[in-house]
Chain A
Amino acid sequence: MTTSHPKGSSAGPPEVEVVSSEPELRIGVFPCKCGKNIGAVVNIDAVAEYAKTLPGVVHVQVNTYTCADPGQREIQEAIAQHGLNRIVVASCSPTMHEDTFRKTVKAAGLNPYLCIMTNIREHVSWVHQHDPASATKKAMDLIAMSVAKAATLVAQPELDVPVTQAALVVGAGVAGMQAALDLADAGFKAYLIERQPTIGGIMAILDKVFPQNDCSICILGPKMVDVAKHPNITLITMAEVESISGYVGNFEVRVKQRPRYVNMDKCTSCGDCVEVCPVDVPSRTDQNLTWQKAIQIPFPQAVPSSYFIDPEACLGMDLIRCGKCIDRCEQEAINASDRTKYVDFDVGVIILATGFKPADPSKTPRLGWGRFPNVITTLEFERLINAAGPTEGKLVRPSDLLKPTSVAIAQCVGSRDIGTRSACSNYCCAESVKCALLIKEHYPDTDVTIFYQDLRMHGKYFEDQYLKAREEGVKFIRGRVGEIQQYPDTKNLRVSVEDTTHNKLSMENYDMVVLSMGAEGAAGNFPLPISCTSDSFYIESHPKLKPVDTSSAGVFICGGAESPKDIRDSVIQASAAAGRAAIILQKGRYPIEALSAKIMQDICSRCGTCVSRCPYGAISQDGTGKFTVMGALCQACGTCAGDCPQDAIYMPNFTSEQIEAQIETALVENTSEKIVAFACAFCSYRGSDLAGVSRMQYPTNARVIRAMCSGRYSVRFAQKAFELGAGAVLYSGCHLPADCHFQTGNVWMAKRESRIRGWMKRNNIEDERFRVEWVSAGEGKKWQNIMTEMAHVVTTPRKNSSTPKTPTVAKSEKPVKPKTKAKPKGKQASKPHSPGKGTSTKKTTRKK
């Protein structure tokens, strides 16, 4: 059996564990103070004393920093000394350190899946800072819930899969090019996909680039040629990724390539065709400031260096309708019968470098772009001042083509505005100063004024640029432009802005205004479930420590797709992503989570519901009618188990038995004030973590139960919680329809809502006590609001005071629905190991 050996762990890890039918449960609990992060709010010693009283717990050890080396060593020593066979670490979020502690216990000879975490930092100490007593009580409850779950944990075999030695890089701007070049130089095959007819992205149309103000295409051009010539890079332009299936190490990719109508091998880019083409279309490269032909090349340095035909503009590639280019091309490069092509290939890793969109100036109508010709965006400015642009580098006002004598630059357009994008665009300050310097370079006597809100010259060498601009006489005024008006006859512009340092209104006239545009996210419409922020940028696995990883293994992000950034940062991030991707590629094999679903054949009624629930096609039926799960395809979302009418699907570490044990433990006392909150690992749990990290305070009523995906929450869980008297139940998942990390788990969960509400109605449970909410990993604030609102629901006295009892009554009267109700309850006491034992025996036999 191959396993990846964690570097840095002490002695070589032993063979992976044979599942023994251990008779005695020996649980070790390790509450962590996390310095003062937990210790200052939660009374850890009291928690530890309480943990000792829990069934099955034989050892409790408090540590100041459990994740640090001494803390990990103590766990390993305790496993040896006390013969521990289940570990509960009560510290931070499992998103943060579950992997760390799994490796720790593995190095001590314990199966990593026998270690679970209790989140008493993001879910307790950080969000209940002002209520230490209740926070401590909540921490105790959460640990008890984990101990109850730990009691039925079963060892899982670790598996790994082979890795295809190739990478897919999506987007060939400067970031994508860098990532592809790095991987190709390291010896891996890279498929570089670009939507446009040329590579180069936004950088290719800029004039000069800050902070040194060197010529953009002069430094990018050679790199573009390197990409085209590299033997390890397959460049596919005018193409988009159509579909991706598979998993880390084994992605199957289908790319859709639009027809170019020009044979790239034959085209010499001589430009003869352009002379005869009768159709003018606005030039995309030149920001619609000039015209080009229906047969065109984006710019002279384009790679591939070949023309293409815009089929929407072309009159017709035959001699009847037009066909002039066909007639003219001596190379016979025009291919009128070109069609959409599909290219299929396999890769092991994926890097998304899909970039951002420049912000849309028409979303800020008060500045008059589109109505006033002399109000231009920074990209339009770049083309106007570019020697290859429409005016051959002569900066003029669009209205009369005269040299401007005064120019205003307005910052923060399309950023720092809740109507467009609320965050800072990160580059627009440096961009404005660069524009100002370029204007001064061309016309030293032109007045340049920059209206800034907060000048953020944060990068290396940026401050020098700022000083230089001041030396050149560029005026800096603090105030955001309120509105721009135009004098109808001269087309001059009157800019109203408050000089906020002097509380004075300035209404000066300018010949031209440059709007320093921010960025808009363009992420999200990619055929892979990578979560996005609300403004459409991909979300990284960890904002500091895993900034280029995503929640999907083997998928990395870089450049403007992750957040707006300048060229230098994009290149840095691209190299980082390539490095991270190369780690997976060069190892050759990748360990996969061992938590795949298993169907308990003795309970399965062979209805086949699970097959329709599985987004990965991992469940199939054999000739005898038996359903089985293909381990390598299963991603362990548990949606099949959530809808299995017989509860016949065993989800390792998230079994029904374990989750119900957690519910029961959470509802031992003060049940009517408790909220049983289900959160999925990729969105809502991370949202709740974010609320913690951001120290958003909310009441202590909730007891969160984590599952891999909201698809796992069966109807039964809510029913069980209400039967036990829960004040409220929350089912939270990734946003509908497309955010689910497991593609469709949230959709299936949403379908259960009406069934739960129907059941609640029949049992006189108020509607407001159950909520289905979509919380993304970026919505800590939303989590806080939900928690606060639900706490209000459970603490407000109900109109019908007998209601809390109703479910209990309903429960005892429930023999009508025997399967769902009383049975598990009775079982619980008598044989707490039922489904777990079944599988563990099965596994033991399989192992042998």
Chain B
Amino acid sequence: MSDMSEDLQTNRLKELKETALPCFQCGVCSSSCPVFRVSPELNPRVSVDSIISRGKVPSEGNEWLCAYCLMCDQRCPMGVSLAEILMVIKNISAKEGQAPPDVIESAESLMADGCQSPISSRSEKQREDMGLPKLPRADPEDVKMLFRATGAAEVLELNRSTSGEASE
């Protein structure tokens, strides 16, 4: 299994590089990025640069800060899908067990409750007032099935153990 996933990783990196290659490091992405304004650790230009010029996925984990607002995608003069690249970097680092604890926590709560933000009684009341039907209750079992089917469960398990090790 590890062999296969390694192959997959190299292929992914190759694909990433191809996607990133048109980038000419102009800085339109970073100067448009709302996260970069407040957390200078996330610089989409630098993340892409490390793929192109260093040929490896950055390991500092700064990409987890990306809010996926797509502003960089929208404005990139070379049409590079930066948000997509950052997403792939996140996926790769999750598969290596490098996901940050808060992401693991929210994944856990998703598994447990079947949703990220629970339905509040207030919003239920509002819907009732507006004549809208009741929201369906999320079934955690469905979500678990999805986690298993997509391999997310394994990734989560891996990250749980690595973060456990780290805390020990």
Contacts and interface: CB of A to CB of B under 8 A. Distances in A.
Nearest to B36: A505
Contacts, number: 66
A780 B75 CA distance: 27
Contacts of A416: 24, 26, 77
Nearest to B31: A482
B77 A500 contact: no
A209 to B, nearest CB: 28
Contact of A505 (B25, B28, B31, B78): B31
Interface centre among B25, B31, B79 (most CB of A within 10 A): B31
Given A482-B28, A505-B37, A498 B75 contact: no
Contacts of A480: 26-28, 31, 77
A496 B77 contact: no
A503 B32 contact: no
B77 A505 contact: no
Interface in B1-37: 24-32, 36-37
A497 B75 contact: no
Given A416-B77, A417-B77, A418-B78, A503 B46 contact: yes
B78 A500 contact: no
Nearest to B75: A366
A483 interface: yes
B103 to A, nearest CB: 25
Nearest to B43: A503
Interface residues of B, number: 19
B32 A483 contact: yes
Interface string A405-434: 000000010001111000000000000000
A482 B34 CA distance: 11
A594 B150 CA distance: 68
Nearest to A506: B31
B144 interface: no
Contacts of A507: 37
A7 interface: no
A419 B80 CA distance: 12
A497 B24 CA distance: 15
B30 A498 contact: yes
A496 B43 contact: no
B78 A482 contact: no
B26 A479 contact: yes
Given A453-B24, A504-B40, A505-B36, A496 B79 contact: no
Nearest to A481: B31
A482 B75 contact: yes
B31 A498 contact: yes
B74 to A, nearest CB: 9
Nearest to A418: B79
A178 to B, nearest CB: 34
B16 to A, nearest CB: 20
A366 B31 CA distance: 11
A498 B77 contact: no
Contacts of B46: 503
A418 B80 CA distance: 10
A498 B45 contact: yes
B25 to A, nearest CB: 6
A503 B39 CA distance: 12
A417 B23 CA distance: 11
A503 B75 CA distance: 19
Contacts of B30: 482, 498, 500, 505
B75 to A, nearest CB: 6
A481 B30 CA distance: 10
A498 B37 CA distance: 10
A418 B46 CA distance: 21
B53 to A, nearest CB: 13
B27 A479 contact: yes
B54 to A, nearest CB: 15
A520 to B, nearest CB: 15
A505 B24 contact: no
Contacts of A366: 32, 75
A495 to B, nearest CB: 9
Contact of A453 (B26, B32, B75): B26
Contact of B31 (A417, A454, A496): A496
Interface string A441-458: 000000000000110000
A482 B32 contact: yes
A481 B24 CA distance: 14
Nearest to B40: A505
A596 to B, nearest CB: 46
A479 B45 CA distance: 11
Contacts of A419: 77, 79
A683 B79 CA distance: 27
Interface in B117-158: none
Interface string A811-838: 0000000000000000000000000000
Contacts of B28: 480-482
B50 to A, nearest CB: 12
Contact of A500 (B25, B40, B75, B79): B25
Contacts of B27: 453, 478-480, 482, 497-500
A203 to B, nearest CB: 28
Interface string A476-490: 001111110000000
A418 B31 CA distance: 18
A497 B31 contact: yes
Given A498-B36, A505-B30, 15 more contacts: A412-B77, A418-B78, A453-B26, A453-B27, A479-B27, A482-B28, A482-B32, A483-B31, A483-B75, A498-B31, A499-B27, A500-B25, A500-B26, A503-B43, A505-B37
